[in-house]
A and B are shown apart, each in its own frame.
Chain A
Amino acid sequence: AQTVTQSQPEMSVQEAETVTLSCTYDTSENNYYLFWYKQPPSRQMILVIRQEAYKQQNATENRFSVNFQKAAKSFSLKISDSQLGDTAMYFCALLPMDSNYQLIWGAGTKLIIKP
């Protein structure tokens, strides 16, 4: 079975600090994508960052970057210079390419940025 595990139900940091959210996954497929989605309180789910499994280089999007360790099946999200607007639920998701393109979701991490 393919799974995604987020071991941190909740985290909180001070504004401007750096925070890392962890995600591990399990799949037997070689070709897949990984995503981090953000869901602010009472607002819609938005894509933060994506990583193709065949790429060794870690993806970055402004203050957001990932540490993709394929052998360890780890996909952590680092948020630098955190801002109040980063307060949200963060979901890690796995998209196996060789199956039917179904997203497999982690349970989420609630991130609170304190002023």
Chain B
Amino acid sequence: DTGVSQDPRHKITKRGQNVTFRCDPISEHNRLYWYRQTLGQGPEFLTYFQNEAQLEKSRLLSDRFSAERPKGSFSTLEIQRTEQGDSAMYLCASSFNRRTSELEQYFGPGTRLTVT
């Protein structure tokens, strides 16, 4: 297993454009999380999935953000009508919560979004 992967690693877009990011979790992991991280800060929770079901979405998350996880495998995060404030690192993590010995989240390398 190669770990959590994210694509693209970097994205530069103009304000008002839509962007979509992809995350491929570790294959047997049933939980997938999206976070946003700005420079020098800890990750900020956005949303998470258990299998294909989106179980929680941050109240701070704008309606311009949407995430999917069809078939419970990879996930996509779409940001519509991007704003400069959306510029950040978007992190994906996965975990396997069927065993209490394996609850830690494993992170991907992130997608750095720059909105100009």
Contacts and interface: CB of A to CB of B under 8 A. Distances in A.
Interface of A: 33, 35, 37, 43-47, 50, 89, 91, 95, 97, 100-103, 105-108, 110
A44 B110 contact: yes
Given A101-B31, A102-B56, A103-B45, A44 B103 contact: no
Interface of B: 31, 33, 40-43, 45, 48, 55-56, 91, 93, 95, 97, 100, 103-110
Given A44-B110, A89-B40, A100-B55, 20 more contacts: A33-B103, A43-B109, A44-B107, A45-B43, A47-B104, A47-B105, A50-B104, A91-B42, A91-B43, A97-B100, A100-B56, A101-B95, A101-B97, A102-B48, A103-B33, A103-B105, A106-B42, A107-B41, A108-B41, A108-B42
A46 B105 CA distance: 9
Contacts of B103: 33, 95, 97, 101
A46 B106 CA distance: 7
A77 B111 CA distance: 29
Contacts of B42: 91, 105-108
A101 B56 CA distance: 11
Nearest to B42: A105
B94 to A, nearest CB: 12
A77 to B, nearest CB: 15
